[in-house]
Amino acid sequence: MIEKLNLFNTEVIGAFALASNKFIILPYSVDSKIVQFFEERTRLNVIKLSLGGINSVGIMVAMNDNGIVLPYNADEEDICILKKEGLNVHLSKSKMNALGNMIVANNKVGFVSPKLSMATIKAAEDTLGVELIKTTIAGLTTIGSSLALNSKGFVCHPQTTETEFALVSSNTNLNGVRVTVNSGYPYVRSGIIYNDSFVFVGYKTTGIEMAEIERALKV
């Protein structure tokens, strides 16, 4: 399933939400109609996080089916909610709190910004249960905004270099596509909410972009 979505009056929907194969994370302030929409369309439970009042949970959190890495400003209530779901939960001590922009992973492997410390990377590996490989995407250290992968494929920034593309492909054993979202926006992960079964894209996404994303992630 792939379809367009308007969330918080913006097409950059991946900044405000993220999904695993088990549930969807949304900001605490989200309207009940949005929660109902996701529950009905995906058949997954929705978890709302406060993160100190920050709405951009997709930027702040790194997650797969095994665990979730939270920024240092997450509160005890957020941690308790997630632990009740059976997840490994880690509260990062890194001052780089936009962890969703720094880490992206499926359930077998992940990639991490070279800007993060080894201690932060090791803690994230233990929490997510995967090896995290340092890389840039299109020369950018904010790889989580420019690379999205599930268990079936990946999509990445259109200026991803051959070396970067080969690194992702060889370490995941997956095929990928360089693609934009929202009519040419290159930070593809910021414009989508996805798992192994569905992709929601920003409302400005063209039919060609949707077809490429759907083909790559095999939803």
pLDDT in tens, 99-139: 999 999 999 999 999 999 999 999 999 999 999 999 999 99
Residue with tokens 């890495």: 69
pLDDT value, residue 53: 87
At 209, is the pLDDT very low, low, confident or very high (cuts 50, 70, 90)?
very high
At 25, is the pLDDT very low, low, confident or very high (cuts 50, 70, 90)?
very high
pLDDT value, residue 28: 92
| pLDDT tops 90 at residue 201 | yes
Contact assessment for residue 125 and residue 104, using Cβ atoms and an 8 Å cutoff: no
How far apart (Å, rounded) are the C-alpha atoms in residues 35 and 74? 21
Mean pLDDT of the chain: 96
- Three-state DSSP at 29 gives coil
Q: Which of 48-52, 63-67, 108-112 has the lowest mean pLDDT?
A: 48-52
Q: Where are the domains of the chain?
A: 2-217
What CATH number does the domain located at 2-217 have? 3.75.10.10
Contact assessment for residue 6 and residue 182, using Cβ atoms and an 8 Å cutoff: no
Tokens of 212: 């490429």
What does pTM read for this prediction? 0.95
pLDDT value, residue 105: 98
pLDDT value, residue 95: 87
pLDDT value, residue 52: 84
Alpha-carbon distances, residue 36 vs 33, 50, 133, 161, 201 (angstroms) = 5, 18, 36, 40, 18
User: For the purposes of burial, counting CB atoms within 10 Å of the CB of 208, is it exposed (0-12), middle (13-18) or buried (19 or more)?
Assistant: exposed
Contact assessment for residue 201 and residue 213, using Cβ atoms and an 8 Å cutoff: yes
Share of the chain above pLDDT 70, in %: 100
pLDDT value, residue 132: 98
pLDDT value, residue 85: 87
Of 216, 149, 142, 194, residue with least CA distance to 18? 194
First to last CA, the chain: 6
Mean pLDDT of 186-196: 98
Half-sphere exposure of 4 (CA within 13 A, CB side): 17
Contact assessment for residue 60 and residue 122, using Cβ atoms and an 8 Å cutoff: no
